[in-house]
Amino acid sequence: MKTRKLAAGGPEVGEIGLGCMSFAGAFGPTDDETTFACMDAALAAGINFWDTANVYGDGKSESVIGDYLAATGARPVIATKVGIVRSGGFDNSRDHIRRELEGSLKRLRQDRVDLYYIHRREAGRPIEEVVETLARLIEEGLIGGYGLSEVAPASLRRAHAVHPCRAIQSEYSLWSRLPELGMIQTCAELGVTFVPFSPVARGFLTDSSVPYELAHADGFRAKIPRFSAENYAHNKEYWVRFKAFCDARGWPMAAVCLAWVLGKGGHMIPIPATRTAQHLAEWLPANEIVLSDQDLDEIARILPPGWAHGDRYWDAQSLNIERYC
């Protein structure tokens, strides 16, 4: 696995990371044996940057990672998040951030985390105040650096002026292109890593895709407008054409999606999510795929910006996501 720097002063990590939301059963049932095998496969492949959150399965994702680290002695670079309140709403206050960090560290069985994100920005609370809290945690050695999730470029600039931000996380893929309208460029300018989540379109842009019935069985994707019956049918037409492109070159579709993201700049570290070693194996050719100008032109013809039918989130899930275009 090739590596990339997690921002200036950050650790060197595999250029593909691992999203761990599904460790908590968000996209279907799982078990610790399967999850442990996935983490084994990730480390064996050089995928050593793992992303979780305190609210994934009400701490389940962090706990299973902590159990694995304790059992194996492995030391991947861990990112976790704070800011979404389990009972509803958002809280970026000093006391909440510190209290939740203590809980995350306990579940992860660590005395620090490498990267600590504000999962969602609390409306009305100045971002400068939030970053001052995070800077104190850095000074105390409890976190290696901080990040922000789903914010606007303007918020990043304000935050970075108080204390350098290590990473910005937002959804970005061939079917979610908003970050191209300012965030990717701002991160490059400031030396901040951009961490795309759902880079294979929540499993839709993979060789097996996500069958409609499966998407509506896991609860989460069932609410996403892109997976509604009407929108799914339209999106599947694009999938068929893109699969033909990938098959003609002998490339797994997921790997092509990741190669496309990686090609957007050296500051990109995508974090596709899975709970199985089998699906993780589909990503690995991305490390060697080089998309030619002709390939990129063909992908743009097949999947032009704005091709996806339906929004990426339902209304309630869009709260406190900063929209800037």
- 39 is a domain residue: yes
pLDDT confidence of residue 129:
98
* Sign, CA torsion 268/56/68/80: positive
In this predicted model, what pLDDT tens digit does every residue of 97-155 receive, in sequence order?
999 999 999 999 999 999 999 999 999 999 999 999 999 999 999 999 999 999 999 99
φ, ψ of residue 209 to 5 degrees: the values are 50, -170
Residue 115 covered by a domain: yes
179 falls within a domain:
yes
List residues with catalytic annotation: 56
> What is the number of other CB atoms lying within 10 angstroms of the CB of residue 86?
10
pLDDT of the chain along its 325 residues, tens only?
A: 999 999 988 999 999 999 999 998 877 788 999 999 999 999 999 999 999 999 999 999 999 999 999 999 999 999 999 999 988 899 999 999 999 999 999 999 999 999 999 999 999 999 999 999 999 999 999 999 999 999 999 999 999 999 999 999 999 999 999 999 999 999 999 999 999 999 999 999 999 888 888 777 777 888 899 999 999 999 999 999 999 999 999 999 999 999 999 999 999 999 999 999 999 999 999 999 999 999 999 999 999 999 999 999 888 878 889 999 8
Nearest to 94 by CA among 273, 102, 41: 102
- In angstroms, the CA 147 to CA 124 distance is 19
Is the Cβ–Cβ distance between 146 and 131 less than 8 Å? yes
- Count of structural domains, the chain: 1
Give the contacts of 150 (CB within 8 A, at least 6 positions apart): 120, 121, 169, 170, 171, 320, 321, 322
pLDDT tens, 149-175?
Answer: 999 999 999 999 999 999 999 999 999
3-state SS string for the chain: CCEEECCCCCCEEECCCEECHHHHCCCCCCCHHHHHHHHHHHHHCCCCEEECCCCHHHHHHHHHHHHHHHHHCCCCEEEEEECECCCCCECCCHHHHHHHHHHHHHHHCCCCECEEEECCCCCCCCHHHHHHHHHHHHHCCCECCEEEECCCHHHHHHHHHHCCCCEEEEECECCECHHHHCHHHHHHHHCCEEEEECCCCCCCCCCCCCCHHHHCCCCCHHHCHHHCHHHHHHHHHHHHHHHHHHHHHCCCHHHHHHHHHHCCCCCECCECECCCHHHHHCCHHHHCCCCCHHHHHHHHHHCCCCCCCCCCCCCHHHCCCCCCC
Q: Is residue 220 part of a domain?
A: no
Residue type, 4: R
Q: How far apart are CA 315 and CA 236, in angstroms?
A: 23
Q: Which residue has the tokens 């990730």?
A: 42
Q: Is residue 185 part of a domain?
A: yes
Average pLDDT, the chain: 95
Task: Give the strand pairing for 77-82 and 115-118.
Answer: parallel
Indicate the pTM of the whole model: 0.96
Q: Which domain holds residue 29?
A: 3-205+257-289
Could you tell me the CATH number of the domain that includes residue 142? 3.20.20.100
